[in-house]
Structure 1
Amino acid sequence: MSENVVKKTSAYVWFDAEFTSLNLESARLLQVAAIVTDTELNRLHPESADLNLCIKLPDGESVSEWVEENLPGLVKQCRSAEAVTLEEADRQLASMLDQYAGTPYEAISGRPVLAGNSVHNDWVLMRRFLPEFGSRLHYRLLDVSTLKIQWTDIRGGAAFDKDSVALLDQYFPAGGINTANAHDALFDIKASIAELAYYRANLFAH
């Protein structure tokens, strides 16, 4: 009788995006960020290779009132010369996966999994605007929000505090978090990685 071979996920692609609107039907990308880790949540690349890109807002393109009010700095960056096109962002994300996750894989089973908090929202816009990046990903998603719900409902634990720099630094592999920056895509990724590490240490510990 042949033994069943358990094949681990090849990599986690931690991804977060900021949008022009909370309405996903009409939203466009404002910012994308990515970190690639192994299944133990350790980076597969140096920190300097973390990706954090502002997407160019086309002339005349508006953003929602909420975004204008809460993300003015990001909107300004997206209207500046440092912003990149969607096509360039797609190319850089795909290149990152090719270099650090060994993509593209011909078999879907070998592809890395997109990971993050409520990452299904990011998945929707990724599929619409980042086809090369999306073509390198597994159809499965690793959504930390699922464990957040289980932590609350089963264990009765208080929500993971993403504003606590000490907590983030404690659980983010290798540490190095010394400030909180909500609604920044790269910070949100690091917070999600730390949150998953927290649940792994506490939810599954007993």
Structure 2
Amino acid sequence: MSEKELKKTSAYVWFDAEFTSLELDAARLLQVAVIITDNELNRLHPESADLNLCIRLEEGEQVSAWVEENLSGLVAQCRTGGAVTLEEADARIAAMLDRYAGTPCAEMSDRPVLAGNSVHNDWFLMRRFLPQFAGRLHYRLLDVSTLKIQWMDWVGREPFDKESIELLNQYCPGGGIDAANAHDALFDIKASIAELAFYRSGLTTN
């Protein structure tokens, strides 16, 4: 009997979100971003198709004091006509997956995997507010934070410096990361992709 062929992950759906509060039980989505890659971290779509959406804050809807102080620019954008509803964001992300990741998939093993840093937080709110998106994903998560912990504990080396634009552009396939956009959701996705590429390169040579 021939050895069963290893089935690799069909795609990584890199997802990052900003929230209205750090208390997840009370939080809503404020911004969402998506990039889809293959398992070698190469984009499956043009860079122009990267998704980065501000979610509309309805009149009178409040955010936490921390968010108001630290993400004031984003909060202002979410109160403009350019922001989208949660329903529109869900539909646009689902359409992106259908076009570039071949969803929906009947078999769980064929579905793409959600990827990011501490991505369980994003998964928690995504399942609540973005049901079309959630329904297209595998139940497994790719959390770069896991590799970071192993890198420090097992390899015994300093973790990837996500504040270094030079390192981010060195390790993120395609580069093009601009410091001016630091720490919005799309920037954070690119930083997570670069971080995973960094740990992969080190773990395969140690």
TM-score, normalised on structure 2?
0.98
**AA at the equivalent of 2:139:** Y
**AA at the equivalent of 2:174:** A
Aligned runs of 1:39-188 on 2, under 5 Å? 39-179=39-179, 181-188=181-188
Q: CA deviation at 1:175?
A: 1.4
| 3-state SS of 1:177 partner | coil
| 3-state SS of 1:17 partner | strand
Distance in structure 1 (CA, Å) of the matches to 2:18 and 2:182: 11
Distance in structure 2 (CA, Å) of the matches to 1:176 and 1:182: 12
**AA at the equivalent of 1:68:** E
Q: CA deviation at 1:107?
A: 0.7
Figure out how many residues of one structure are paired with residues of the other and give that number. Answer: 206
**AA at the equivalent of 1:53:** L
**AA at the equivalent of 2:64:** S
| 3-state SS of 1:25 partner | helix
Identity %: 74
Distance in structure 1 (CA, Å) of the matches to 2:37 and 2:126: 19
Tell whether the 8 Å contact from 1:17 to 1:29 is kept in structure 2 after alignment. yes
TM-score, normalised on structure 1?
0.98
Tell whether the 8 Å contact from 1:180 to 1:187 is kept in structure 2 after alignment. no
RMSD over aligned Cα atoms: 1.0
Q: CA deviation at 1:38?
A: 0.3
Contiguous gaps of at least 5 residues in structure 1: none
**AA at the equivalent of 2:147:** L
